[in-house]
Chain A
């Protein structure tokens, strides 16, 4: 039973070994290699113990239940973290004298992210979430002697703290209504009017907190500022792993607690989803900063992803299939877009993140420019990219289940989105005014090229990815 917990143990061991190692001897190279090694070992260990979860749900105390879907999420998070850690080595040297703690913190955050998809209990939800958030506070403010990261860190600290407090308050109300903290039994109230009202209040607060963490409209105000101020490696982590983990636990909560059976809650979530899709894209239209633009675009993408929440409560396996596919493609294209920013900023003190900074990129740095164009096309959902299939999944699912408000907003949002993604592409294609003086590290560049290849290959031929996801869902664990 406990062998299913092996990946978590390996990651924790790596974390502790790294911390002790850093306290004995400080070396950026050693810390970096140890982190890469830990991430790869954890990733590989999933294959060895996959047997345990392939045919059965593994319950590890009341708090965690490991299944093949949780393993899939873990693998995606680990690969994303690995990509970012590979970027981080050159990136950090220019920004701080003390680089080693960065790796301790990012491993801790990854552990938190791996715990969330396996959570079945409010206690493990809040602990996993806080492990991610607390590590992120320090990661966002990581660079020495720079004001924007510190400002972003403080903003995130205060707003994420409020979000967590709201979440906890919601859990307290839900507990008051049902007397239970594990997802599967919280919807059992005594049927009285009082219990129903408490349950609704609790869920309202709970979803407000979740919306804070996923930066959904109207709780999105922090997103552009934090994305802009944080060092790009951390921004990418925030946009991918942290949000993906919260989303994974939300899916499980929705299924097990059968939340959408209440009309009030499902209407509220629908409103949030529609608002995120439209407003996120509208606000992105006139941004001149690439990181702020990607922040608004991530708000919109989280709105699209919320469609899955509705889908999953009527058709669990199709819902999970589209959720996993969308999440993988969102990870790949977001990492490719941020990868270009990170690669360009690696050798300079400041971040190259304005639209002017990428003007004529295709001519000065052909590889980086091409990757950025591929990422922008994919984020916009143009055919022949992986982003197209991800949107196509949501679109067909929305139509087949007759979720018209969501489908209309999806189309409207995507239409608006094309405008600013095309703006990125045009700026990249411009005739360069001046020679871009920054040099790009080869490792970072080759990773972004790989990511861009993944965008196009899965865009042309998504069958392997779909087959993999279907194979994971063969034994439907949470049905």
Chain B
């Protein structure tokens, strides 16, 4: 089961990099993240798997999709959009995610006979505890990291806003 999920993760990430269309690439990216979440689940880390889906596949990629779609506003994009919705495009991701779903379901049903990867269950409580004890300073440093990224992005983004306003 691990190998199926890993194969899907690798192939969909290759497809994500090689797609010319940003939306299609993002579709494969979601698939990669779902496959990774399945692997996490198989490794005995359901919490990490859930986070992977909620944060990456859910929030971040949807944000990406919004940005990509907003950047393409205009008349030309209507034609492009009809091209995006061409049926051929979503067949492969759909098949792959179907297989992934199968793997996920199987891991619930028949864990006894399947080759299990050794691992320890990490419950959410333990994650939270270590974040606020052992890794407390790490979390705070990560806060500074995000602050730096935010301020930097703000500064770099503002110059284009200003240019647009001047025009």
Residues of A within 8 A of B (CB): 12, 15, 19, 60-64, 97-98, 101, 104-105, 108-109, 111-112, 115, 123-124, 127-128, 130-131, 134-135, 137-139, 141-142, 144-145, 153
Contact = CB atoms under 8 A, between A and B. Distances in A.
A63 B137 contact: yes
A64 B137 contact: yes
A105 B148 contact: yes
A109 B136 CA distance: 20
Please give me the 4 A-B residue pairs with the lowest Cβ-Cβ distance, nearest first. Answer: A138-B152, A108-B148, A135-B148, A101-B155
A109 B148 contact: yes
Interface of B: 133-138, 140-142, 144-145, 147-149, 151-156, 158-159, 162
Given A138-B156, A141-B156, A142-B155, A124 B145 contact: no
A112 B137 contact: no
B74 to A, nearest CB: 25
A137 B150 CA distance: 12
Contact of A61 (B137, B147, B154): B137
B33 to A, nearest CB: 16
- B133, B148, B158, B159 pick with most chain A CB within 10 angstroms: B148
A108 B141 contact: no
Given A127-B145, A130-B145, A141-B156, A104 B137 contact: no
B127 to A, nearest CB: 14
Contacts of A142: 155
- B135, B140, B147 pick with most chain A CB within 10 angstroms: B147
Given A62-B134, A112-B144, A123-B138, A134 B159 contact: no
A99 B154 CA distance: 13
Contacts of B153: 138
Contact of A127 (B138, B151, B158, B159): B138
A105 B152 CA distance: 7
Contacts of A98: 155, 158
A134 B149 contact: yes
A108 B134 contact: no
Given A98-B155, A124-B138, A134-B152, 4 more contacts: A12-B140, A19-B147, A128-B141, A135-B148
Nearest to A139: B152
Nearest to B149: A134
20 contacts: A60-B137, A98-B155, A101-B151, A101-B154, A104-B147, A104-B148, A105-B148, A105-B152, A108-B144, A111-B144, A112-B144, A131-B144, A134-B145, A137-B152, A138-B148, A138-B151, A138-B155, A141-B156, A142-B155, A145-B159
A12 B144 contact: yes
Contacts of A60: 137
